[in-house]
Copies of this chain bind each other. A is one copy, B any other.
Amino acid sequence: MNFIEDLIQLIKEKKSVVCMGLDPRLDNKGEIPQFLIEELEEPNKIILEFNKILIENAKDLIPVIKPQIAFYEKYDALDALKETIKFAHKNDLLVILDAKRNDIGSTSEAYAYSMFKNLNADACTINAYLGFDGVKPFLEYNEKGVFILVKTSNPSSAEFQDLFSIRLEEIPNNVIEYKVEGKILKRNYIQLSELIYDWSNKLEKFSNFTNLGVVVGATYPQELRKVREIVKSSFILIPGYGAQGAQAKDIKNGFYENGLGGIVNSSRGIIYAYHQNEKFSQENFGKASRDKIIKMNKKINKEIMN
């Protein structure tokens, strides 16, 4: 396999750039249906059954799923995660594991091993605050995909990511404040995008894309357009569609004219769709998610194919 090649092929086959986020939540009403919780009792069983039904209802409609590992860790359900990934692969779906791991090089190696060998994910998300040392061990799995957080979908993402910054190589380390005159500054997430562009340029391309992607929230459409211009050979994973408030027109900026270049994730909006639509009982949560994906595909394809 090669993540980006396979992704592009599946996008074309299924005519979809939608990614289904598998974020199992067991705590509140409107999350995993009560009948599954009562019937199966144990979190690993509940979550796996929930995911399998979602996958069966989505497999012909989408190229990829994105489990959020935080929830599997919370419920001690890493077995369900492993089985979900296996089941997704059997059903012609790729898996991006959302883990946002980051550490120094020798530790990042261990994380990369967990993501790609133990869990057999096809791609994962990482955080590059530590610079290239911590990114490299993930890229060494040539055939796997890596998505670096650039501009996140949450309200406080501006706090640090939107600072205006500049690289001033000539200043000694011990100088921490510096007065600049007439210099062009760029926001931090733009600086990081430029670093990623450089890293990506050293990697092999498949249909103009490398296996190094980025994450930009659908909740920031203007920022998405700017990042699209910089990371020319990267796919953009675009979360925040649906429950976080972004709509189809907001994600258009992440795509090239040929409809490639992005994938749009929705988690709660798809998997708990039964709760937002009276037409579906909790027993029909799978059909509700299928119905939601069909509508999402239609809306998004209309935007990105124009």
Chain A contact residues, CB within 8 Å of chain B: 23, 68, 70-71, 73-74, 76, 78, 100-105, 107-108, 110-111, 113-114, 118, 127-134, 149, 152-168, 171, 173-174, 176-188, 190-192, 195, 220, 222-223, 226
Contact = CB atoms under 8 A, between A and B. Distances in A.
7 contacts: A70-B108, A74-B111, A100-B102, A129-B160, A130-B160, A133-B154, A134-B156
Contact of A161 (B23, B71, B129, B163): B129
B110 A70 contact: yes
A173 B133 contact: no
A64 to B, nearest CB: 19
Contacts of A161: 129-131
A170 to B, nearest CB: 11
Contacts of A159: 131-132, 195
A155 B157 CA distance: 26
Contact of A190 (B74, B78, B107, B176): B176
A70 B107 contact: yes
B152 A222 contact: no
A44 to B, nearest CB: 14
Given A100-B102, A133-B154, A133-B155, A73 B118 contact: yes
A86 B175 CA distance: 44
A101 B104 contact: no
A305 to B, nearest CB: 25
Given A74-B114, A129-B127, A131-B158, A163 B180 contact: no
A110 B67 CA distance: 13
Given A131-B154, A159-B195, 10 more contacts: A74-B114, A76-B118, A100-B103, A129-B149, A134-B154, A164-B166, A164-B167, A176-B190, A180-B185, A188-B188
Given A134-B156, A153-B104, A70 B111 contact: yes
A23 B107 CA distance: 9
A172 B227 CA distance: 16
Given A114-B74, A134-B154, A128 B171 contact: no
Contact of A181 (B71, B114, B182): B182
Which 9 residue pairs of A and B lie closest in terms of their CB atoms, listed nearest first? Answer: A131-B156, A131-B159, A165-B165, A104-B154, A70-B110, A163-B165, A133-B156, A74-B110, A174-B222
Contacts of A73: 110-111, 114, 118
Nearest to A23: B107
A171 B176 contact: no
A216 B120 CA distance: 33
A130 B105 contact: no
